[in-house]
Amino acid sequence: MALWTQHPRYSTFILFCVVGTLYLLGVHHPGAIRPRIALRKLHAHDLPTRLERSKRIYNKLLVERQGLIKKFGPNPQDIVLFPPNVAPWPPYTVWDFFPAAFNCPHEIQRLGALGDGGKWVCGVSRVEKKRDCVVYSVGINYESSFEAEILANTDNCQIWGYDYTVSSFGPQIPASALGRTHFKPYGLAGKDKDKMYTLESLMKMNGHTHIDILKIDIEHWEFETLTALIEPYLANGRPLPFGQLQLELHLWNMTFPEFLKWWEMLEAAGLRPFWTEPNLVYQNYNRAGSTDLAEYSFLNIKGSNVFIKDS
């Protein structure tokens, strides 16, 4: 009779030794399979790899957009923002050409009210402990649930708020956090004039060279304002001075070619939409059937901001 059948304890000991030896060889041998598999798995989940994957997905979307324009155009000037309800009935709206197809490489979290006022943010954990965290919020209207949650979810973020139609932040910000907020009754515009300032002018006033999170809701002035801001950066090949952008779009009195050109300027500057939702409150109460307002959140994939680079 074999030895291992006569002495089961001895057999167990031998088996343990063999398994242990194979494990140690797998860990320490240069050509071992286990470490390579582990490294591949680790590499597949690092930040640069996630960003590259997101870029590939978004680049596919750019090709599909051109196909959709050709299908319903065939040229941009042939596309209307919202087709009328008459035959032939083309199954699209302007928002179908501009989906939020970029994958945020971090957690996505809504900060602020679930109704009007809240915004979707990519990777707030990246600024949770950041010592020099800077947030700009333009367009307050006494609703500051977004700003209040930024303060609650971070240790050091300072918020600069601007709105020439009100005199302060909204009541949502607790008194204990007011020391991290700074408000001025100014507006954001494409040039400086009468309490209206460009983003660069506001940053210069505050001694800032970079903004981590920029929120803008300025009732259609976003087109003039962001055009004036972005064009010089594109001309000089510099990255935009903010990490991500939460923006409400108001497509009043615009054509599809105008919006397409403006949107492609954002993309050329490195902005990629990772979240969108229509403003259904506006649709419900103000202009029944109209869907020309939408919220977008963008990540800036150029430069070295905290959301795309590990420190």
* Angle of helix 222-236 versus helix 199-206 axis, rounded to 10: 80
CB atoms within 10 A of CB 195: 12
pLDDT category of residue 27 using cuts at 50, 70 and 90: very low
> Which two tokens mark 99?
């989906």
pLDDT of residue 36: 41
Place of tokens 């930040």: 47
Average pLDDT over residues 180-208: 96
pLDDT of residue 242: 98
Distance CA 80, CA 95 (A): 11
Average pLDDT over residues 179-184: 96
**pLDDT 10s digits, 79-136:** 999 998 888 888 999 999 999 999 999 999 999 988 778 999 999 999 999 999 999 9
Residue 72 has pLDDT above 90, yes or no: yes
pLDDT of residue 285: 66
Residue 148 has pLDDT above 60, yes or no: yes
Residue 282 has pLDDT above 90, yes or no: no
Q: Share the mean pLDDT of the chain.
A: 87
pLDDT of residue 116: 78
Instruction: Give the range among 27-36, 103-112, 170-179 with minimum mean pLDDT.
Output: 27-36
Give bridge partners of residue 122 from the DSSP assignment: 108
Average pLDDT over residues 148-176: 95
Instruction: Give the range among 162-176, 230-244, 275-289 with minimum mean pLDDT.
Output: 275-289
pLDDT of residue 280: 65
Average pLDDT over residues 265-272: 98
Residue 211 identity (one-letter amino acid)? I
Name, in order, each residue with C-beta under 8 angstroms of 19's C-beta and a sequence gap of 6 or more: none
293 vs 22, higher pLDDT: 293
> Which two tokens mark 127?
């600024």
Domain ranges of the chain: 7-43, 45-300
Residue 18 has pLDDT above 70, yes or no: no
pLDDT of residue 287: 56
> What's the CATH number for 45-300?
3.40.50
